[in-house]
């Protein structure tokens, strides 16, 4: 209670300070008005007074009337003094007042008058600012007037483009896309934001991720799930490349990426993205994103059938923000309800039904009659575990009551995923009621939606990529042939010039030194030689034409083979990664049925080792160039994975990285990844007490292509050295892996356990997948 009263007193004090300062400004303006003459200074003072009342919080009628009074007086004085500039300053002030009163028809006319005046008088930059001001004046949720907002931003964009202000123009184009998105004009919005992204690329704008973020929102509303996922990945990747990125943006971007992975049924990737979102949310103090991600992570654990880990995850992470809103409580209860239900613990799930309904009722009351699609989509998605529980428990009456409540919500703007979910509920209802024809219709609708999401969208995207690539290759080929043709023409021109020069010289020499008869005979011989040369030239031209045709055919075959090779390699990496994930899942299933602690630990170790390899193939699949792995990026992903597995222990462990820019091919990345996984995992498990500690990962160049990799901790060190025992199995494995890459391996105690590997980068070797050779 004391904290609440303290905060209230602070707010009241700040409000009192603002009111006091504001009142002083108003009194000073009134004093200036009394002492001013009939000139431009008086007009400026009147406009400032009008702006004072316009900027006051709220839209109180007395304040608006005061604004109009002072603006009209300023306009009358400007006209009397024939001061055109101030006449249009008054028009602009009146436009802002009219927009505040939500009379956008009149506001549109006034803003247009002011902008055109400045544009015609040569101040185009001011005109662009007026159009941008008009667009900003219309609230983004005011969908009724989104067309006015889009038009205002488009006018600003046109002027800025003519001024060659590329950065500002691209930013405004993003505002245009947002206005079209709010108006529901999704195709126009997609076109605008793609154009903005292209301009950002040309400018090498570090914050291009804002454009990708809007593109992802548009594609989500267009129900283009596959392309939406690609946009979310681009958003996160470009954000990671910006060292000045804000934590709140990181939370927002990774939350959306996690949702896109989850909708595409990539549950492990979604889990990792949710954990990243939680990290950024904690840095930014963003409670909403934090609990949304906690709930999302819980759903991922459920989809991965790791129910016990999911419950443990909640116990460790649901109390970072002590004061939860009803929406936060609903998120946590929803995820727990799903974990208990899917894990077969129906009794524990039943205990959550009452609390869940209480908070859901409060959240639904806050939504009210709003038609904002995000809130409605989220409410339906969060309510899903409740209906799943009723289905699994066979409580059909309660299932039907909950379904009727969801069907009563506004359907405007529902995403295709929510529509599919509602159809699934309806299919279940029709099936249990015996209405088989209706159930069959629902099933067909669900199948069509699944096909459009999983097949058509993916095929369309692949075809678009191939078409773009072939178009680019064709343009390059045409340009190359054009250049070759110009060079050939130039060579022929020079040859002709030389030939004609020789002929003329020969004729002059013959005329001067020989008789007319002798000159005649020489001319005949010269003509014969000329015809022979022409025949040779024609033959060479014919051969050159054939060579050009063969060259074009070879270029097309080469481009086709390169595209096929890259697609095949990406597919191989993708399948290897998926197969490794299947092996991990099989090992997890095996460990869940085993009661031998030693066997479980051994299986978990193998899982970690396979996951370290899977990360490599996952990164190779996502990159456009798939021959090498950046060591620093791999270390980040490996630590991210281990953070999810050993989160309670890692909470007090500091991991320090000092990594040079080192690129490894697949043949070296796999052994190095296994060594790092084994060393880091051993440090996490055995090196530290409850007080925690530090792990250092250092990779430095000793010479060009000669690298030293060190993994060290400040724990008690290797016990094997002190007891003169033979090395453990893990150390033997690491030593064997080091030999596999022709490296030297060393382990010792130096302020804790220290492992170092010195190896030479084989930059000219092919990867294992490219050569078809597996390590021995």
Percent of the chain with pLDDT over 90: 13
Residue 723's Cβ-count burial label (10 Å; 0-12, 13-18, 19+) is: exposed
Residue-level pLDDT at 394: 83
- For residue 64, give the nearest of 20, 100, 103, 18 by alpha carbon: 100
Cα separation, 495 vs 309, in Å, equals 81
* CB contact at 8 A, 688 and 715: yes
Strand order in the sheet with 693-703: 653-659, 693-703, 706-713, 753-760, 744-749
C-alpha distances (whole Å) from 397 to each of 297, 390, 648, 774 are: 30, 9, 42, 59
Whether the predicted pLDDT of 473 surpasses 50: no
What pLDDT, in 10s, does the model give residues 527-562?
A: 777 777 777 777 777 777 767 676 677 776 666 666
pLDDT band at 766 (very low <50, low <70, confident <90, very high): very low
Cα separation, 701 vs 662, in Å, equals 8
Whether the predicted pLDDT of 409 surpasses 90: no
Looking at beta carbons, which pairs linking 631-638 to residues 24 or more positions away fall under 8 Å?
631/659, 631/662, 631/663, 631/664, 631/672, 631/699, 632/657, 632/659, 632/661, 632/662, 634/669, 634/673, 635/659, 635/676, 635/697, 638/612, 638/673, 638/676, 638/677, 638/680
Cα separation, 335 vs 320, in Å, equals 17
Query: For 689, which DSSP code?
Result: B
Whether the predicted pLDDT of 369 surpasses 70: no
pLDDT band at 129 (very low <50, low <70, confident <90, very high): very high
Whether the predicted pLDDT of 305 surpasses 70: yes
* CB contact at 8 A, 749 and 712: no
Residue-level pLDDT at 709: 94
Cα separation, 487 vs 481, in Å, equals 10
Average pLDDT for residues 322-335, to the nearest whole number?
78
Query: For 690, which DSSP code?
Result: T
Paired tokens of 413: 């703007």
β-pairing, 693-703 vs 628-630, is unpaired
pLDDT band at 713 (very low <50, low <70, confident <90, very high): very high
- For residue 296, give the nearest of 249, 322, 331, 326 by alpha carbon: 331
Residue-level pLDDT at 195: 92
Residue-level pLDDT at 566: 65
Highest mean pLDDT among 32-36, 283-287, 538-542, 716-720: 283-287
- State the Cα angle at 62 between 57 and 68, rounded to 5°: 95
Average pLDDT for residues 33-55, to the nearest whole number?
84
Whether the predicted pLDDT of 277 surpasses 90: yes
**Helix pair angle (146-162, 124-137), 10° resolution:** 160
Give the containing element (helix H, strand E) for 589: helix 516-593
Residue-level pLDDT at 501: 66
Residue-level pLDDT at 420: 77
Q: Which residue has the tokens 């030593």?
A: 735
Residue-level pLDDT at 743: 92
pLDDT band at 645 (very low <50, low <70, confident <90, very high): confident
Looking at beta carbons, which pairs linking 370-378 to residues 24 or more positions away fall under 8 Å?
370/410, 371/410, 371/412, 371/413, 372/141, 373/221, 373/412, 373/413, 373/414, 373/415, 376/409, 376/410, 376/413, 376/414, 376/418, 377/414, 377/415, 377/418
Paired tokens of 150: 């889009």
C-alpha distances (whole Å) from 153 to each of 34, 118, 207 are: 40, 17, 20
Cα separation, 107 vs 103, in Å, equals 6
Residue-level pLDDT at 316: 84
Cα separation, 589 vs 582, in Å, equals 10
Residue-level pLDDT at 24: 61
What pLDDT, in 10s, does the model give residues 670-704?
A: 899 889 888 888 888 888 877 788 999 999 999 88
Higher pLDDT, 1 or 166: 166
Residue-level pLDDT at 712: 94
What pLDDT, in 10s, does the model give residues 83-113?
A: 889 889 999 998 898 888 888 889 889 999 9
Cα separation, 776 vs 765, in Å, equals 16
- For residue 231, give the nearest of 250, 252, 209 by alpha carbon: 209
Give the containing element (helix H, strand E) for 564: helix 516-593
- For residue 262, give the nearest of 27, 421, 37 by alpha carbon: 421
Rounded to the nearest 5°, which phi and psi values hold at 700?
Answer: -130, 150
Rounded to the nearest 5°, which phi and psi values hold at 693?
Answer: 175, -155
**Helix pair angle (326-342, 307-317), 10° resolution:** 160
What pLDDT, in 10s, does the model give residues 562-610?
A: 666 666 666 666 666 667 667 766 676 666 666 777 777 777 777 777 8
Residue-level pLDDT at 23: 57
Residue 104 half-sphere exposure, CB side, CA atoms within 13 Å? 17
185: left (phi over 0), alpha (psi -120 to 50) or beta: beta
Residue 709 half-sphere exposure, CB side, CA atoms within 13 Å? 26
Residue-level pLDDT at 105: 87
* CB contact at 8 A, 335 and 299: yes
End-to-end CA distance of the chain, in Å?
69
C-alpha distances (whole Å) from 114 to each of 65, 95, 222 are: 22, 9, 37
Whether the predicted pLDDT of 462 surpasses 50: no
Cα separation, 369 vs 156, in Å, equals 35
C-alpha distances (whole Å) from 24 to each of 29, 205, 340, 595, 645 are: 9, 43, 62, 77, 60
Cα separation, 481 vs 545, in Å, equals 11
* CB contact at 8 A, 753 and 715: yes
Residue 287 half-sphere exposure, CB side, CA atoms within 13 Å? 12
Looking at beta carbons, which pairs linking 74-78 to residues 24 or more positions away fall under 8 Å?
74/43, 74/46, 74/47, 74/50, 77/38, 77/42, 77/43, 77/46, 78/43
* Torsion over CA: 393, 397, 400, 404 (sign): negative
Q: Which residue has the tokens 């602690």?
A: 597
Higher pLDDT, 220 or 214: 214
Could you write out the three-class secondary structure of 131-173? HHHHHHHCCCCCHHHHHHHHHHHHHHHHHHHHCCCHHHHHHHH
Three-state SS for 712?
strand
Three-state SS for 17?
helix
Whether the predicted pLDDT of 130 surpasses 80: yes
Average pLDDT for residues 251-278, to the nearest whole number?
90
Cα separation, 709 vs 600, in Å, equals 30
Cα separation, 267 vs 272, in Å, equals 9
Paired tokens of 292: 């949304």
Average pLDDT in the chain:
78
Average pLDDT for residues 17-36, to the nearest whole number?
67
Whether the predicted pLDDT of 360 surpasses 50: yes
């Amino acid at each position: 209670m004391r904290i609440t009263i303290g905060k209230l007193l602070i707010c009241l004090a700040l409000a009192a300070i603002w009111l006091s300062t504001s009142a002083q400004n108003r009194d000073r303006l009134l004093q200036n008005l009394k002492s001013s003459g009939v000139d431009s200074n008086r007009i400026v003072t009147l406009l400032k007074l009008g702006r004072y009342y316009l900027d006051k919080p709220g839209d109180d009628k007395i304040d608006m009337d005061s604004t109009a009074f002072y603006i009209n007086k300023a306009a009358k004085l400007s006209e009397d003094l024939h001061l055109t500039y101030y006449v249009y300053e008054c028009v602009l002030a009146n436009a802002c007042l009219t927009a505040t009163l939500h009379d956008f028809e009149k506001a549109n006319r006034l803003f247009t008058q002011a902008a055109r005046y400045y544009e015609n008088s040569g101040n185009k930059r001011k005109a662009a600012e007026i159009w941008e001001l008009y667009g900003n004046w219309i609230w983004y949720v005011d969908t009724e007037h989104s067309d006015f907002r889009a038009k205002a931003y488009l006018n600003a964009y046109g002027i800025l483009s003519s001024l060659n202000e590329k950065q500002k123009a691209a930013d405004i184009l993003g505002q245009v896309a947002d206005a079209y998105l709010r108006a529901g004009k999704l195709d126009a919005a997609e076109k605008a934001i793609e154009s903005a992204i292209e301009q950002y690329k040309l400018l090498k704008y570090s914050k291009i991720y804002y454009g990708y973020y809007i593109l992802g929102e548009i594609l989500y509303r267009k129900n283009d799930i596959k392309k939406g996922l690609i946009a979310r990945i681009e958003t996160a990747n470009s954000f990671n490349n910006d060292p000045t990125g804000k934590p709140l943006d990181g939370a927002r971007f990774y939350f959306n990426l996690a949702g896109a992975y989850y909708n595409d049924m990539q549950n492990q990737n979604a889990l990792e993205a949710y954990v990243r979102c939680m990290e950024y949310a904690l840095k930014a103090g963003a409670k909403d994103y934090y609990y949304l991600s906690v709930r999302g992570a819980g759903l991922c654990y459920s989809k991965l059938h790791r129910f016990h880990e999911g419950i443990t995850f909640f116990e460790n992470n649901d109390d970072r923000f002590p004061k939860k809103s009803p929406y936060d409580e609903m998120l946590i209860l929803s995820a727990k309800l799903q974990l208990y239900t899917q894990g077969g613990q129906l009794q524990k799930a039943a205990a959550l039904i009452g609390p869940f309904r209480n908070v859901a009722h409060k959240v639904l009351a806050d939504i009210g009659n709003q038609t904002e699609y995000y809130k409605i989509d989220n409410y339906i998605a969060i309510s899903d575990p409740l209906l799943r529980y009723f289905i699994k428990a066979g409580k059909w009456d309660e299932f039907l009551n909950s379904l009727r409540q969801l069907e009563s919500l506004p359907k405007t703007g529902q995403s295709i995923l929510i529509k599919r979910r509602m159809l699934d509920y309806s299919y279940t209802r029709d099936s249990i009621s015996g209405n088989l024809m209706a159930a069959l219709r629902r099933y067909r609708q669900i199948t069509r939606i699944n096909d459009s999401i999983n097949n058509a969208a993916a095929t369309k995207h692949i075809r678009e990529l191939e078409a773009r690539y072939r178009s680019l290759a064709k343009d390059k080929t045409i340009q190359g042939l054009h250049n070759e043709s110009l060079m050939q023409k130039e060579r022929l021109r020079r040859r002709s010039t030389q030939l004609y020069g020789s002929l003329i010289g020969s004729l002059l020499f013959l005329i001067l030194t020989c008789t007319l008869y002798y000159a005649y005979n020489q001319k005949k011989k010269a003509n014969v030689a000329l015809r022979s040369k022409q025949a040779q030239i024609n033959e060479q031209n014919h051969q050159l034409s054939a060579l050009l045709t063969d060259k074009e055919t070879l270029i097309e075959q080469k481009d086709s083979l390169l595209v096929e090779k890259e697609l095949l390699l990406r597919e191989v990496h993708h399948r290897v990664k998926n197969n490794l994930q299947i092996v991990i899942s099989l090992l997890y299933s095996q460990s869940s049925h085993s009661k031998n602690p030693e066997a479980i630990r051994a299986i978990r170790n193998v899982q970690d080792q396979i996951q370290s390899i899977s990360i490599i193939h996952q990164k190779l699949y996502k990159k456009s160039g798939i021959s090498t792995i950046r060591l620093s990026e791999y270390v980040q992903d490996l630590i991210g994975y281990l953070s999810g597995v050993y989160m309670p222990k890692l909470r007090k462990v500091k991991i320090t990285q000092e990594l040079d820019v080192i690129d490894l091919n697949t043949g070296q990345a796999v052994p190095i990844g296994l060594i790092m996984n084994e060393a880091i995992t051993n440090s996490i498990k055995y090196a530290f007490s409850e007080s925690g500690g530090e792990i250092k990962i250092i990779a430095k160049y000793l010479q060009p292509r000669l690298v030293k990799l060190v993994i060290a901790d400040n724990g008690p060190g290797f016990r094997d050295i002190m007891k003169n025992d033979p090395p453990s199995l893990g150390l033997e494995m690491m030593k064997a892996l080091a030999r596999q890459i022709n490296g030297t391996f060393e382990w010792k105690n130096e302020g804790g356990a220290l492992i170092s590997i010195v190896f030479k980068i084989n930059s000219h070797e092919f990867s294992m997948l490219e050569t078809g050779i597996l390590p021995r």
